[in-house]
Amino acid sequence: MTFKPSRLLVVLFAAATLPVMAQNLAVVNGKAIPSSRADMMVKQLSAQGGQPDTPELRSMVKDELINREVLIQEADKLGLGNNADVKAQADIARQSILIRALVADFVKKNPIKDADIQAEYDKFKAQAGDKEYHARHILVENEADAKAIITKLKAGGKFDDLAKQSKDPGSAANGGDLGWATPASFVKPFSDALVALKAGQLTETPVKTQFGYHVIKLEEVRAAKIPTLAEVKPQITEALQQKKLQAYQQELRAKAKIQ
């Protein structure tokens, strides 16, 4: 007697095998490429380049994964996976992936609070001050040269001409012009001397910093244009996240037994 499976058994068997087949993108030399691998690659491409998930992209990803599987199988056949350099590189790649996952997990579990962002913004505003200064300077190596420049300026010398000898290449070719900036943009001795000047005034004595001796002239003062919280919120959030991550890393390192 020949056994003939019922229609119900055939339907049940087909239903049972469909999910397994759907899980595979392709099979290369008997080895399956899971569809989840394509999902991951599409997700990465979308995150990196903003590419939308389209049938065309899926087709390209499928071809790429098949090509990779063909090459991987050949590399395995040649035993390249046992090469010491290859193992070391694979280990480094694994470390990078795990560290990225750890960072993402930490950021997710330790979100930056709005109150912390506001506090950091308030600190930024306080440090920036409410005024901006348009200044020029001439930077020289020693105090005697700076004093000589001040004497020449008081005698009617032109700042633009004398600024050509400045050690600051960024401003020397532009008459010593530093543009508009808040005092917090400069080192303290420079900013202290700058805010003590009135528009049009020149420093009476050279100002010493770690860079040398400065002759400073204040051109104008205006109300500072402080960016709004909304404008700088992404940068503040990123900076606070980095600070938290550094503290987390230092905490883990302090607990580690290092010989």
pLDDT tens per residue, range 170-183 = 999 999 999 999 99
Q: Residue 25: in which H helix or E strand, if any?
A: strand 24-28
pLDDT at 28: 96
DSSP bridge pairs for 181: 133
Buried-state track 228-259, b at ≥16 Cβ within 10 A, e below 16: ebeebbeebbeebbeebeeeeeeeeeeeeeee
Any idea which residue has 């991550």 for tokens?
A: 245
pLDDT, position 7: 53
Structure tokens that stand for 23 in this block: 């899980």
**What was the pLDDT predicted at 4?**
52
Across 57-84, average pLDDT:
95
**pLDDT of 168 strictly over 70:** yes
| Total residues found in the chain within this entry | 259
Return d(Cα 71, Cα 197) in angstroms, integer.
71
* Parallel, antiparallel or unpaired: strands 131-140 and 177-181: antiparallel
The pLDDT tens digits for 208-238 are 999 999 999 999 999 988 889 999 999 999 9
205 phi and psi angles, rounded to 5 deg: -130, 155
Position 13 confidence tier, pLDDT thresholds 50, 70, 90: very low
What are the φ/ψ torsions at residue 138 (nearest 5 degrees)?
Answer: -125, 125
- Residue 70 CB contacts under 8 Å (≥ 6 apart), including other chains: 28
- Is the pLDDT at 26 greater than 60? The verdict is yes
Mean pLDDT of the region 69-78: 96
Question: Mean pLDDT for the chain?
Answer: 91
pLDDT at 56: 93
Residue recorded with tokens 């020397």: 172
Cα 85–Cα 86–Cα 88 angle in degrees, nearest 5: 65
Would you place residue 48 in the very low, low, confident or very high pLDDT band (cuts 50, 70, 90)? Answer: confident
